[in-house]
């Protein structure tokens, strides 16, 4: 079958492309812009990429099915062409649910009675406002280390695997369970299509203000997600998150193991940067993890992954040994290079909670060295001003801050720069950020670039500028 994917440059839709290709389909895709790491991953796998959204792409691809990403809406030229020509279409989440997780069509599961039914795979889904990609990557790696060869679809590229998605061996499949809406024709959250047996609920905060009016609307979708987990399954839940407690109070039918509570899973840091920590389950010592990741947020992610893997039959000791070899995910405090003692990092943080966690983790590692933070206000929620009162506080650990001011920002960014009391400035272009930052940076500085997009390839350009300076 010929499948054409609209929005193929996104991490989720790029993963869908890889899985469709692995099932034997002829896959191509269109996107406004495709940037690394997804572009290089897709091209390496022989998937044809077409830039822009023009109807002529359908003439070239001649698809039997079009999979439409949630970033596209009515009025998009390719979407309109698909509808006018009567080409069969679906969403990425629905296609995954029907063709991978429940083994419909060309892919046939061989599920064992003790692990998965004859109608689908044992799905381990990771949901939450923050930490989905890291936790799903840890979980997939633990199962891999246990020689279970899981399939997975993750919104990033785990360094241990080098790809964001693969079919793997039945029955286990790890999926990052996003609460964002499914498509312009399906406004349910993506994760209701996945029907997991093991589900992780990391945390819940208000986000995606472009589609959710308030926190209650997101909580309702999480409740719908909880409704899909069978009684023989497991919910792994952050015990310290009151919003998740409220979700469970709306109704649950599945056993729960808590992370961060004495009756469940706990972690005790053994050093300031939390790169060594002790794991406890019901107050009983399970062993120690020593790894290259930083921060208390990653300890919590690790506990959730350990608990979920244990439900799938992986001994805790095996999980701890796997995490010692875990190599993180691209764009999670990833070192992009160093020039004359100046280190440049790339991180996906774009919400105040994630920004705080990333900066605190880096501060614990570098001590009193200067941290120069660079932030792109790219997400819909950020541009709408939802975080305008908490953004400055999230940048407390940075010595100086550079922000890219979006052209369509509809609120006064000066309220953030004023709150930073001289430590922060906003600039209209990436070029101005590179120029001023290059003049400011000095040996032993750490430049932390945070964005959920390509940010004009600022990392490579900045490193080149520093080299030439």
H or E segment and range at residue 134: helix 132-145
Q: Is 168 annotated as a binding residue?
A: no
Rounded Cα gap, residues 392 and 388, in angstroms:
8
Rounded Cα gap, residues 206 and 216, in angstroms:
9
Closest CA to 328 of 157, 449, 205, 171: 157
Rounded Cα gap, residues 128 and 182, in angstroms:
16
Rounded Cα gap, residues 295 and 355, in angstroms:
12
Cis peptide before 148 (omega within 30 of 0): no
Contact 200, 241 (CB under 8 A): no
Q: Is 132 annotated as a binding residue?
A: yes
User: 3-state class of 132 per DSSP?
Assistant: helix
Q: Phi first, then psi: give them for residue 286, nearest 5 degrees.
A: -105, -15
Q: Is 129 annotated as a binding residue?
A: yes
Strands 122-127 and 172-176: parallel
Q: Is 343 annotated as a binding residue?
A: no
- 353 CB neighbour count, 10 Å cutoff: 18
The CA–CA distances, whole Å, from 286 to 74, 88, 235, 278, 302 equal 53, 51, 20, 8, 13
Contact 130, 208 (CB under 8 A): no
Q: Is 91 annotated as a binding residue?
A: no
Q: Is 131 annotated as a binding residue?
A: yes
Q: Is 39 annotated as a binding residue?
A: no
Length reported for the chain: 469
The CA–CA distances, whole Å, from 188 to 19, 104, 108, 224 equal 22, 21, 27, 9
Rounded Cα gap, residues 137 and 228, in angstroms:
22
The tally of CA atoms less than 13 A away on the side-chain side of residue 131 is 26
- 131 CB neighbour count, 10 Å cutoff: 25
- 51 CB neighbour count, 10 Å cutoff: 12
Determine whether 430 is exposed, middle or buried from the number of CB atoms within 10 Å of its CB (0-12, 13-18, 19+).
middle
Contact 194, 175 (CB under 8 A): yes
Rounded Cα gap, residues 40 and 375, in angstroms:
24
Angle of the 316-323 helix axis to the 132-145 helix axis, nearest 10: 110
Binding-site sequence positions for ATP: 128-134
């Amino acid at each position: 079958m010929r499948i054409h994917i609209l929005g193929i440059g996104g991490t989720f839709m790029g993963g869908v492309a890889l899985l469709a290709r692995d099932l034997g389909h002829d896959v191509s895709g269109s996107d406004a812009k495709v940037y690394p790491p997804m572009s290089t991953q897709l091209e390496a796998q022989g998937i044809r990429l077409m830039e822009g959204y023009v109807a002529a792409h359908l003439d070239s691809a001649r698809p039997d099915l079009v999979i439409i990403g949630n970033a596209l809406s009515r009025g998009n030229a390719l979407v309109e062409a698909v509808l006018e020509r009567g080409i069969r279409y679906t969403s990425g989440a629905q296609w995954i649910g029907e063709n991978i997780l429940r083994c419909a069509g060309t892919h046939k599961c061989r599920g064992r009675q003790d692990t998965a039914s004859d109608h689908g795979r044992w799905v381990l889904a990771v949901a939450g406002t923050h930490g989905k990609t890291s936790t799903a990557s840890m979980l997939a790696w633990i199962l891999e280390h246990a020689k279970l060869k899981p399939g997975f679809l993750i919104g990033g590229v785990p360094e241990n695997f080098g790809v964001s998605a693969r079919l793997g061996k039945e029955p286990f499949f790890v999926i990052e369970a996003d609460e964002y809406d499914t498509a312009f024709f399906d406004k349910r959250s993506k994760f209701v299509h996945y029907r997991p047996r093991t589900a992780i609920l990391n945390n819940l905060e208000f986000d995606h203000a472009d589609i959710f009016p308030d926190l209650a609307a997101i909580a309702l979708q999480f409740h719908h997600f909880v409704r899909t987990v069978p009684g023989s399954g497991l919910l792994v839940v952050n015990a310290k998150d009151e919003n998740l407690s409220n979700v469970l109070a709306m109704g649950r039918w599945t056993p729960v193991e808590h992370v961060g509570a004495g009756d469940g899973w706990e972690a005790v840091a053994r050093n300031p940067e939390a790169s060594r920590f002790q794991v406890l389950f019901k107050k009983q010592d399970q062993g120690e993890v020593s790894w290259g990741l930083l921060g208390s947020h990653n300890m919590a992610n690790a506990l959730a992954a350990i608990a979920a893997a244990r439900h799938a039959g992986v001994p805790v000791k095996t999980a701890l040994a796997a995490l010692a070899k875990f190599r993180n995910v691209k764009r999670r405090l990833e070192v992009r290079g160093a020039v004359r003692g100046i280190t440049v990092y790339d991180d996906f943080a774009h919400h105040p909670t994630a920004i705080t966690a990333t900066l605190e983790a880096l501060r614990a590692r570098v001590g009193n060295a200067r941290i120069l933070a660079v932030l792109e206000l790219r997400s819909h929620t950020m541009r709408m001003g939802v975080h305008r009162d908490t953004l400055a506080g999230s940048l407390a650990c940075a010595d100086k801050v550079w922000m890219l001011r979006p052209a369509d920002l509809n609120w006064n960014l000066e309220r953030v720069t004023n709150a930073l009391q001289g430590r922060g400035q906003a600039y209209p272009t990436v070029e101005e950020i590179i120029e001023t930052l290059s003049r400011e940076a000095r040996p032993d500085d750490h430049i932390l670039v945070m964005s959920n997009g390509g940010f004009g390839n600022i990392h490579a350009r900045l490193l080149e500028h520093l080299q030439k300076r």
